[in-house]
């Protein structure tokens, strides 16, 4: 008789095991903890040929850690980092910044730290649907077929190894980053933190640590035959998951997830929004050794009531982002931390008097820290904000630029389980002009 477990796909089996882990041990975090990729059971194989990319150059390897702010819904470039006049002008105008370029009046706090950031105004893409465009921005690849592409944090863990002995190498804040490992092992998945104020929930097991360890020993004895019969890579990944989870639960490094330890004045500077709290948590995590942190913020799909939405969602971003850049700079972390602001696409140059529609043809992203030029604008859109001037920056170029800063071999090929070759940035070249 066929075992029903075999009828489940790989992700369903992983979810089944996760729930078993919760029931047996009181463990309820996904398998994101930093197993050594050299010893893990990986379905991918790197090509034997060395990377053709040089290992030195402007900005290469300057980002020891990355904070990726993902503004979901499609941030209007015209009402943030690329303000326009005339028919495209929105409800507010432009203001000068310390970086000697202009941003929207919706971003007064960002204007004060603009001398520390680099704006890319010539981003371009072809995908204008939220789910597909978000996938593209998070992975550098269009969503096709059954292949799940890795996020940048998983690529970094594959090439650079775990970033910390007990803490995860990647964390996703304010959303459950399912499939973040892509075709890499499940242990490369980012650890999801849904509520930054709550931090890492269930880190203290209801059964007690000794009982957890006793149960783990018993399960290891019982499931040895099971693992031989069903050599699935996700099942194997859970052995490392259990061991590393117990190690983290015992570790003093759990304090990294507690933003309550921060001074009240600093918490207020970030603001009380989930984005603000998430940015503060991200700073604590990279300070303690987490390499890649993605912070998600919704509410940017402003078809209607753009002005009111920007006064709320835009103001929360403005406060949190400026506080994050200042905080990192004051702690000496900005020079080695790459901070990214990105959205899945921009908004139409036509302002209806209420809002703007989806527009992937041209939009803006922002980089700061880790060898990036300060007070700099790369590329431009035309006077209406409708077309990139000259050659646009694709999402592949953007990912290659981040990978370059993180010191990843851009030309090195990794084969997915189906044999298809993939690289960081989908064979695109980095934009070296943004580095000092």
Can you give the pLDDT of all 436 residues of the chain as single tens digits? 444 444 444 444 454 445 445 444 444 444 433 333 333 334 444 433 333 455 678 999 999 999 999 999 999 999 999 999 999 999 999 999 999 999 999 999 999 999 999 999 999 999 999 999 999 999 999 998 889 999 999 999 999 999 998 999 999 999 887 779 999 988 899 999 999 999 875 444 445 556 655 665 666 666 666 666 766 665 565 566 556 555 665 567 889 999 999 999 999 999 999 999 999 999 999 999 999 999 999 999 999 999 999 999 999 999 999 999 999 999 999 999 999 999 999 999 999 899 999 999 999 999 999 999 999 999 999 999 999 999 999 999 999 999 999 999 999 999 999 999 999 999 999 999 999 9
- Going along the chain from its start, the domains and CATH numbers come out as 1-30+201-255 (no CATH), 49-199+258-434 (3.40.720.10)
What is the per-residue pLDDT for 208? Answer: 56
Chain centroid, CA 284 distance in Å: 16
Q: Can you give the three-state secondary structure of 399-433, one letter per residue?
A: HHHHHHHCCCCCCCCEECCCCCEECCCCCCCCCHH
Q: Give me the pLDDT at residue 3, please.
A: 46
Instruction: Specify the pLDDT at position 395.
Output: 98
**CA-only gyration radius of the chain, Å:** 22
Three-class SS of residue 373? coil
Please name the residues in contact with 147: beta carbons below 8 A apart, sequence gap of 6 or more: 182, 183, 416, 418, 420
Instruction: Determine which helix (DSSP H) or strand (DSSP E) holds 347, and give its type and residue range.
Output: strand 346-347
Cβ–Cβ < 8 Å for 111, 383: no
Residue 70 DSSP code: E
> Shortest CA distance to 202 belongs to which of 235, 259, 246?
246
Q: Is residue 322 within 8 Å of 112, Cβ to Cβ?
A: yes
Report the alpha-carbon distance of residue 258 to residue 37 in Å, rounded. 28
For residue 136, give the H/E element and its range: helix 130-139
Q: What's the confidence (pLDDT) of residue 238?
A: 55
Q: How many other CB atoms are found less than 10 A from the CB of residue 259?
A: 22
- Segments in 27-102 forming alpha helices (H): none
């Amino acid at each position: 008789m066929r075992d029903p477990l075999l009828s489940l796909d790989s992700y369903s089996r992983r979810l089944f095991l996760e729930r078993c882990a919760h029931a047996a041990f009181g463990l309820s975090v996904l398998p994101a903890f930093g197993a050594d990729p050299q010893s893990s059971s990986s379905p991918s194989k790197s090509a034997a040929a060395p990377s053709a990319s040089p290992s030195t150059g402007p900005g290469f390897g300057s980002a020891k850690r990355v904070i990726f702010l993902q503004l979901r819904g499609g941030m209007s470039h015209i009402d943030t980092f690329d303000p326009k006049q005339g028919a495209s002008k929105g409800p507010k105008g432009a203001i000068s910044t310390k970086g000697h370029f202009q941003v929207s009046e919706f971003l007064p706090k960002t204007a004060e730290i603009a001398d520390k950031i680099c704006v890319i105004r010539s981003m371009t893409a072809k995908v204008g649907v939220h789910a597909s465009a978000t996938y593209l921005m998070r992975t550098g690849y269009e969503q096709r077929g059954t292949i799940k592409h890795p996020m940048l944090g998983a690529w970094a863990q594959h090439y650079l190894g775990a970033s910390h002995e007990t803490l995860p190498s990647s964390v996703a804040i304010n959303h459950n980053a399912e499939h973040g490992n892509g075709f890499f092992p499940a242990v490369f998945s980012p650890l999801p933190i849904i509520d930054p104020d709550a931090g890492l929930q269930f880190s203290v097991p209801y059964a007690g640590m000794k009982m957890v360890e006793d149960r783990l020993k018993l399960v290891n004895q019982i499931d040895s035959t099971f693992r031989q019969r069903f050599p699935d890579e996700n099942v194997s990944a859970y052995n490392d998951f259990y061991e590393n989870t117990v190690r983290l639960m015992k570790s003093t490094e759990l304090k990294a997830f507690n933003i309550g330890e921060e001074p009240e004045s600093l918490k207020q500077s970030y603001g009380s929004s989930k984005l603000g709290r998430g940015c503060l948590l991200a700073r604590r995590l990279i300070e303690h050794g987490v390499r890649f942190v993605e912070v998600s913020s919704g509410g940017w799909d402003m078809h209607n009531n753009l002005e009111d939405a920007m006064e709320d969602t835009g103001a929360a971003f403005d406060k949190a982002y400026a506080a994050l850049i200042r905080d990192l700079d004051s702690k000496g972390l900005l020079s080695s931390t790459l901070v990214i602001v990105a959205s899945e696409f921009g908004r139409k140059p036509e302002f209806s008097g209420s809002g703007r529609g989806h527009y992937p043809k041209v939009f803006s992203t922002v980089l700061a820290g880790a060898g990036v030029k300060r007070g700099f604008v790369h590329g431009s859109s035309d006077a209406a904000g409708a077309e990139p001037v000259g050659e646009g920056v694709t999402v592949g170029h953007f990912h290659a630029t981040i990978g370059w800063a993180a010191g990843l071999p851009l030309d090195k090929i990794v084969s997915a389980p189906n044999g298809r070759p993939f690289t960081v940035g989908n064979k695109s070249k980095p934009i070296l002009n943004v580095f000092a």
